[in-house]
Structure 1
């Protein structure tokens, strides 16, 4: 289960070691036991009951194929993820995919718990002595904080035609990390793998346009992949602060808007989330108009809507990534197929490869590229001109390849250290299309850290098939009885021999007596 601190609040479980007997969730005796349960057996109320009754640990068995879950089951898991992380818990909580072997163990644990429901004490005692049980064990050291963990941003740019310092700038931004109840299961295919793919494809397409003098726009384009997006957009925050305070660059002083991409791989709806609606005639307003025209002209099956939501500074976390820009009075908005920031689809282990529709993701990237091109090339009036076609179109093969790559490794923030292979691949790809590609890293302030991550996302749990403690008691009593009998026989061996001789003599005397 997740373990992290954010803005001084602790979340997730604070313990990781397990060495205790397994019990099903409906067992009567659960104190200091490891509870093994299937997903649908766990509710928030039941979880709190386990804590009240001092359960030792919890192992939740997840289905192998999330696509087979019903809508109610999916909603159940997502609400469970949300509620369990709202508070700190002291017991270890683990999640594992239910394999055939695990299913057999689970059934054995259910059968062995029948002693708890025995009608009489004698029946319970005998059943306990003959049953088989499991000892669940995780050894090693307790998880510890990653005090020097670095969050990584990757950026590159395409310089516009003319004097670069005097040209307006558009920033395309996407965070690359994922989130879920268990870091080791957080794939984030849609949120925000789809946003990363959209950014990379747009960088590839516009790099072709910017290498030709006839299609070289008078706009600078900045492409920014940020880390810590699921933890209040820490990477974006630091990048804005560094560039606002920098005397070497005027990137943010000339920014027209920041276009943030988040969850674009599903449904036929697109929402543009804004903190302040862009004015008509402004750069942001022209982009919104271009987006509406492209959808209306070429993709009528798509529903588009601008969603206005003010920033609530009283909340612990921001709703969307563009709000980091809006706080600094920089224009920005977030494009997503999700209509509300509170959607559980953004932070769940259910966000796997099967959740993304490759066709719809390709289409949405195409829409985005066309709208952006209409703005920076001043083509808003040319509604019947489609720029990205044939060899310049979005390549569905690349979209699929990147999607496969991004779900190969879990992308929880604490698993993506600065030298992670995925970050190397992203940097190499951006360097192929863009100029001055570089990484920047940030660490939490040691005196007052905004975030603290912990190691230990994937563990190996051993299930030992053992007899219960009552069996050892019976065995001890049997051995003690046997040794007592043998000791008594050895000490009283002469008396036993004497009695045997007396019996033999009595038998001979009886044989010699006359019978009348």
Structure 2
């Protein structure tokens, strides 16, 4: 016959199992919280046999911000940085020293998104400063060989809310992990492969103007041109949009 002490111990064991089940269910529910964000990968190309740009495409690491002490291991962290907060010198040194990093996601001003391109105020001083940083950053990225994925995304309310949460967690000085929780950024993209150079045909035409007297070739010339070789860090309107999943993982504290 079971004694009261053994019965109490049995109930305590059952309660412990129930508590663990509730914790796991909570984690599964929070882990199922997924948002999808459109991102654009940094260009990749070879020039005279030398590799430039980002050499990887897939992501599957926890998100972090730039609020880490020097020497912090970021090899499994994808750092999210708004362009307005970019320290180009820091990025140049990090890439130049080949320091390990899970990936980079640069957040572009929402005013530059396709939805807002018709309402851009070129006199906006803040936007002007961000554009100066973006130009310098682009010059750095396209002339470097980067051994981890680099993506661009446009700021919006959802991504800014994620970034705020990430910064709040990073204030502790510890990157998010599978045991501490946080956000994980996932891009299920195949690794890039070399594409054969396409055959390009140049088309040229001439429409002479009308002139009552004299040679029509002496009239001013108006050139209307379209270029095949548009080039940039991430040709946003020419390339296929890639989906990045932002997965919320629960905190076990």
User: If the length of structure 2 is used for normalisation, what is the TM-score?
Assistant: 0.63
Q: For residue 15 of structure 1, report the CA deviation from its aligned partner.
A: 0.9
Structure 1, unmatched stretches of 5+, are: 118-123, 161-205, 232-346, 350-408, 416-456, 475-516
Give the SS at the match of 1:79.
Answer: helix
Judge conservation of contact 2:67–2:173 (CA < 8 Å) in 1.
Answer: no
Residue among 67, 84, 101 paired with 1:55 = 101
| Count of aligned pairs between the two proteins | 194
> Given the alignment of the two structures, is residue 219 of structure 1 paired with residue 233 of structure 2, yes or no?
no
Q: Indicate the residue corresponding to 1:354 in structure 2.
A: none
Alignment of 1:75-474 (within 5 A): 75-116=132-173, 132-158=181-207, 206=209, 209=210, 214=212, 217-219=215-217, 225=225, 227-230=227-230, 410=237, 415=239, 457-467=240-250, 471=252
Judge conservation of contact 2:55–2:149 (CA < 8 Å) in 1.
Answer: yes
**TM-superposition CA deviations, 1:237-263 (whole Å, max 9, x none):** xxxxxxxxxxxxxxxxxxxxxxxxxxx
The CA distance in 2 between the partners of 1:129 and 1:156, in whole Å, is 61
Q: Indicate the residue corresponding to 1:443 in structure 2.
A: none
Structure 2, unmatched stretches of 5+, are: 1-41, 113-120
Q: Indicate the residue corresponding to 1:24 in structure 2.
A: 65
The CA distance in 2 between the partners of 1:462 and 1:141, in whole Å, is 15
Judge conservation of contact 1:22–1:35 (CA < 8 Å) in 2.
Answer: yes
Q: For residue 2 of structure 1, report the CA deviation from its aligned partner.
A: 1.6
Structure possessing the higher radius of gyration over alpha carbons: 1
> Given the alignment of the two structures, is residue 39 of structure 1 paired with residue 83 of structure 2, yes or no?
yes
**TM-superposition CA deviations, 1:420-472 (whole Å, max 9, x none):** xxxxxxxxxxxxxxxxxxxxxxxxxxxxxxxxxxxxx531100000136xx4x
Give the SS at the match of 2:243.
Answer: coil
Judge conservation of contact 1:134–1:464 (CA < 8 Å) in 2.
Answer: yes
The CA distance in 1 between the partners of 2:151 and 2:77, in whole Å, is 14
Q: For residue 38 of structure 1, report the CA deviation from its aligned partner.
A: 1.2
Using a 3 Å threshold, how does the CA distance of structure 1 residues 41 and 48 change in structure 2: closer, same or farther?
A: same
Q: For residue 110 of structure 1, report the CA deviation from its aligned partner.
A: 1.1
| TM-align CA RMSD | 3.6
**TM-superposition CA deviations, 1:156-184 (whole Å, max 9, x none):** 223x6xxxxxxxxxxxxxxxxxxxxxxxx
The CA distance in 1 between the partners of 2:61 and 2:215, in whole Å, is 66
Residue among 56, 61, 64 paired with 2:110 = 64
Judge conservation of contact 1:4–1:11 (CA < 8 Å) in 2.
Answer: yes
The CA distance in 2 between the partners of 1:86 and 1:129, in whole Å, is 34
